[in-house]
């Protein structure tokens, strides 16, 4: 009997469970969620009711009889109610804000707030439809999502595009907008919001927990150790990390001579993590200094003679000077030509208005053009766009990898050009005017002569070539 009852219960899967799809396909998930929630209530209420009947002696079959009668009554009553009053037709409230404004074909369009879904369900034919003054071309079995405010295609399931009738060519605005003025804040060599001292330089990631890309390694060295008035410092980064050397607060190029008349000199080495390599990543992955660190060939990193101070979280990071609130915590100075050309470990601050756009364009995105900078991190209105590095690419051989069995799948292009110069800025971040752009430049002239006037906020209507 029990087996038969469970078997017959399978009929509900072709009854009320699928009914939500019939009466409101646009809200079937919501309806099923509500009904399932209501259906879950007996799961804990029934235990309390049954307990009230059988608590004295759960083994007494007679005490169970009222429980089964109540259960049977509820099931029969609900089944009769569903059979009489349930419907299988789509309800009027299913089509919330459904509209066919301007649709010249029999294809479907549904609007939900600022989003519209356009569909072509035809098995074989491609159609052209006009929606809100825009023409869209739909291959068979195509669905696309339209932003009703801009009439641009947000997403499409096939090759869908839109255009205005008799529209002119897009008026691209490649120059974008620039900042009327730039100001600068300079990091102090060796400063970090968090510090730790050790007898040898320590591994970077174990200290920073990868919460910052930067760490300072600082040590004071006796000049007698250098055995020269013009010593040379060797301090390379490990596993792709890049290092910048400062001697008594002055930036120096690695493996080049520097002069001093002091009995001691302070070395500050800024290490930049540069991300993790692809594959074989684990606890053994390391960043920081590649030991040994040497001055004129004399090792100063593992003798225990010197105390090394590790400092991380730059002042600009600690104060979040890339935000409007944080920028007010520090003193900015107007950028001079010397600062623009030669400053290192420096934050540059500018203000950008949104660029003009072609209102006939079917799509618009925004990007920060950093083609005239060197290397660092970019922020827009407090949002971290990520690292940038304008170093030119290098092409070797006739084919770009991978080359399999002697077959060339891809050919090089854009050799001697940076991999990326445009950095996408989400539209939601931007304001009509006074957008805060902050750039942290690690170094100067490592790639090219820096030019802040070349930094632009650009509007893109097509994918850049």
Structure tokens at 163: 């255009």
121 by DSSP, 3-state: which? coil
Quote the pLDDT of residue 164.
42
- CA proximity to 220, closest of 171, 269, 290: 269
Q: Where are the domains of the chain?
A: 2-92, 97-167, 174-183+318-460, 188-313
- Do residues 183 and 327 lie in contact, with contact meaning Cβ atoms separated by under 8 Å? no
CATH classification number, 174-183+318-460, choose in 3.90.25, 3.10.450, 2.60.120, 2.115.10: 2.60.120
Q: Cα 390 to chain center, whole Å?
A: 20
Q: Are strands 233-234 and 294-295 parallel, antiparallel or unpaired?
A: antiparallel
**4 vs 1, 8, 11, 13, CA distance in Å?**
5, 6, 12, 16
Domain 188-313, CATH: 2.60.120.260
Parts of the chain with a pLDDT under 70? 1-2, 5-6, 8-16, 92-107, 123, 158-174, 223-231, 253-263, 409, 463-465
Helix (H) or strand (E) holding 37: helix 28-54
Quote the pLDDT of residue 101.
41
Residues forming beta bridges with residue 196, ordered by sequence position: 310
Residues forming beta bridges with residue 219, ordered by sequence position: 267
Q: b/e map of 62-101 (b: 16 or more CB within 10 Å)?
A: eeeeebeeeeeeeeeeeeeeeeeeeeeeeeeeeeeeeeee
Cα 375-179-364 angle, rounded to 5 deg: 85
Q: Which residue has the tokens 């632009």?
A: 456
- Do residues 234 and 254 lie in contact, with contact meaning Cβ atoms separated by under 8 Å? yes
């Amino acid at each position: 009997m029990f087996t038969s009852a469970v078997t017959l219960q399978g009929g509900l899967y072709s009854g009320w469970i699928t009914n939500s799809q019939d009466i409101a396909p646009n809200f079937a998930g919501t309806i099923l969620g509500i009904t399932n929630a209501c259906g879950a209530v007996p799961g804990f209420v029934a235990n309390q009711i049954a307990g009230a009947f059988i608590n004295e002696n759960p083994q007494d079959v007679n005490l169970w009889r009222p429980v089964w009668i109540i259960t049977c009554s509820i099931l029969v009553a609900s089944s009769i109610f569903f059979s009489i009053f349930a419907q299988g037709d789509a309800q009027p409230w299913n089509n919330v804000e459904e509209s066919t404004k301007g649709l010249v074909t029999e294809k479907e369009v549904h609007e939900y707030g600022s989003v519209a879904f356009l569909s072509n369900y035809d098995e074989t034919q491609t159609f052209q439809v006009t929606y809100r003054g825009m023409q869209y071309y739909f291959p068979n079995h195509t669905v696309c999502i339209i932003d009703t405010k801009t009439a641009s295609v947000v997403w499409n399931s096939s090759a869908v595009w839109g255009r205005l009738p008799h529209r002119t060519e897009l008026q691209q605005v490649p120059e974008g907008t620039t900042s009327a003025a730039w100001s600068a804040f300079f990091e102090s060599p060796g400063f970090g919001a968090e510090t730790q001292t050790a007898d040898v330089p320590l591994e970077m990631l174990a200290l920073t927990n990868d919460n910052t890309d930067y760490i300072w390694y600082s040590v004071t060295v006796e000049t007698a150790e250098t055995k020269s008035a013009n010593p040379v410092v060797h301090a390379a980064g490990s596993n792709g990390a890049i290092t910048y050397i400062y001697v008594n607060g002055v930036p120096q190029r690695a493996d080049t001579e520097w002069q001093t008349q002091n009995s001691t000199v302070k070395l500050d080495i800024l290490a930049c993590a540069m991300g993790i390599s692809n594959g074989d990543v684990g606890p053994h992955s390391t960043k920081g200094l590649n030991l040994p660190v040497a001055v004129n060939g004399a090792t100063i990193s593992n003798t225990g003679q010197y105390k090394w101070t590790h400092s991380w979280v730059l002042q600009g990071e600690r104060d979040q000077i890339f935000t409007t609130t944080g920028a007010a915590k520090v003193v900015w100075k107007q950028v001079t030509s010397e600062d623009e050309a030669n400053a290192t470990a420096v934050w540059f601050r500018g203000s950008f208005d949104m660029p003009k756009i072609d209102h006939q364009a079917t799509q618009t995105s925004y990007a920060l053009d950093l083609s005239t900078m060197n290397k660092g991190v970019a922020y827009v209105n407090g949002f971290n766009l990520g690292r940038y590095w304008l170093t030119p690419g290098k092409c070797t051989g006739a084919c770009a990898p991978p080359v399999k069995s002697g077959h060339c799948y891809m050919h090089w292009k854009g050799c001697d050009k940076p991999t990326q110069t445009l950095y996408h800025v989400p539209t939601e971040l931007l304001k009509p005017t006074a957008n805060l752009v902050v750039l942290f430049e690690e170094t100067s002239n490592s790639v090219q002569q820096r030019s802040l006037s070349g930094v632009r906020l650009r509007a893109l209507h097509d994918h850049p070539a």
